[in-house]
Homo-oligomer: A and B are copies of this chain.
Amino acid sequence: MELERSPLAFPFPEELPEIVGVELRVARARYKNWDRADLTFITLSESTAVAGVFTQSACASSEVELGREQVKSGTARALVVNAGNSNAFTGYRGREAVEQIMEQVADHLGCKVSEVFVSSTGVIGVPLPKDKAREGVAQALNAQPCSWLEAAEAICTTDTFAKAAHASAMIGGQRVNLVGIIKGSGMIAPDMATMLGYIFTDAAVEPAFLQQLLSNANRETFSCITVDGDTSTSDTVLAFATGKAGNPALTAFDDAGADAFAAALADVCRQLAQMVVRDGEGASKFITIRVSGASSDDSAHRIALSVANSPLVKTAIAGEDANWGRVVMAVGKAGEPADRDKLSIGFGGIWAARDGLPVEDYDETPVAEHLKGQEIDVTVDLGIGSGRATVWTCDLTHGYISINADYRS
């Protein structure tokens, strides 16, 4: 099945900086019957700090289980990403395949096994074939370094465009760079799943502080996107800091440049997260849902997700229908504090309903115009507190059904 490029796709960034200490390579393990690079091998210079956030799924893959433990040690030397097989729900056989990859790479680099991170994405329930993995890794170990574009393409499964973002920050007079790559478009296409994101920086950052910064950034970026509300067994975001920029290592928010670095990291995460939504299966519109006036930020977040995951809201927007009643419904079902008679709903900055009533003399014309665009804004004000949240999603179209139902894997 050939997927069409998303109408919301961004071109790949033309000038991504090199991150000193990071080397990219790809290989063809042929995890599926295809002729493309599907194994990505990234080496990191010694003492590279690592941090990670992982899926909350109770059925997480071995890669995720191991990764959660590995980040605790704080250092990384390599990352291997397998595309075409998620190796999830494959029991001890799947775990053996991951451990084999870790050992093969550690032997080659002369590092600890725990410093080799592995991710896999693709079909659930098929153990990663050990022979293909072994041969693919061997091929990668001897390959020439490649570009960010090649690496970003090799981690894709049914993504319709390769995704990368960058930012920079000044730390103690020293410019540091950050580059991130990501794959995913919700849980996409037959049997496919998983969002995998990797951020590389030459900044020097202590592992514990890097973890704190990544967790903070995750909360306001990756945790704020949804395509279909279906959470993968393998979602993983890792941040690697090689320290080659030579800045004084960041250890806490008090350090000079820490705020700038945190902002740059969150910026890269936000760009990557939004790109995943823009590649959401069947997406024709990028939707920003802003909730204010809730009883707390957490409550606002849950209400925003209730709106973002409502199939009726998503289909209404696909149909360019300013159906604010469905937003009321989604707020009402969220199970969060709300007062019907204080609730206000708007599209594109125009209120359709205020304080529990349709706006008098409401003119739908500019709202209908807004809904014809590709970037849709939905605003919800609860009027009962100061909690706020923003969530990004896409619409629900025939494309989603075609990708997920019409084609057998």
Interface positions of A (Cβ within 8 A of B): 55-60, 88-91, 93, 123-126, 187, 190-191, 193, 228-233, 309-312, 315-316, 318-321, 323-326, 328-341, 343, 353, 355-358, 395-398, 400-402, 404-409
Contact = CB atoms under 8 A, between A and B. Distances in A.
Of A231, A311, A333, A357, most buried by chain B (CB within 10 Å of CB) is A311
Of A91, A125, A398, most buried by chain B (CB within 10 Å of CB) is A125
Given A90-B358, A341-B91, A357-B90, A325 B397 contact: no
B340 A58 contact: yes
Nearest to A230: B312
Contact of A325 (B123, B330, B337): B123
A328 B405 contact: no
Contacts of A358: 89-90, 125-126
Nearest to A58: B338
A401 B401 contact: yes
B357 A319 contact: no
Contacts of A355: 91
A329 B125 contact: no
| 7 residue pairs, one from A and one from B, having the closest CB atoms | A124-B325, A59-B332, A57-B332, A315-B404, A319-B405, A231-B333, A58-B338
12 contacts: A56-B335, A57-B332, A58-B331, A59-B329, A59-B331, A123-B325, A124-B325, A126-B358, A190-B321, A228-B312, A311-B396, A395-B405
Nearest to A89: B328
B312 A60 contact: no
Contacts of A402: 398
B310 A230 contact: yes
Contacts of A310: 229-230
Contacts of A56: 333, 335
Contacts of A91: 341, 355-357
A405 B331 contact: no
A139 B72 CA distance: 74
A357 B126 CA distance: 9
Contacts of A406: 319
Nearest to A337: B58
A357 B396 CA distance: 33
B405 A315 contact: yes
A329 B401 contact: no
Given A125-B325, A397-B405, 12 more contacts: A56-B333, A57-B332, A89-B340, A124-B325, A124-B328, A230-B312, A230-B326, A231-B329, A319-B404, A398-B401, A400-B401, A401-B401
A341 B62 CA distance: 11
Contact of A232 (B126, B329, B339, B409): B329
A89 B329 CA distance: 9
Contact of A318 (B190, B330, B331, B405): B405
A318 B401 contact: yes
A240 to B, nearest CB: 27
A88 B334 contact: no
Contacts of A90: 357-358
Nearest to A357: B91
B408 A191 contact: no
A350 to B, nearest CB: 15
A397 B328 CA distance: 25
Contacts of A309: 229
A321 B403 CA distance: 12
Contact of A329 (B93, B187, B190, B339): B187
Contacts of A60: 332, 340
A329 B124 CA distance: 9
A338 B59 CA distance: 8
B408 A325 contact: no
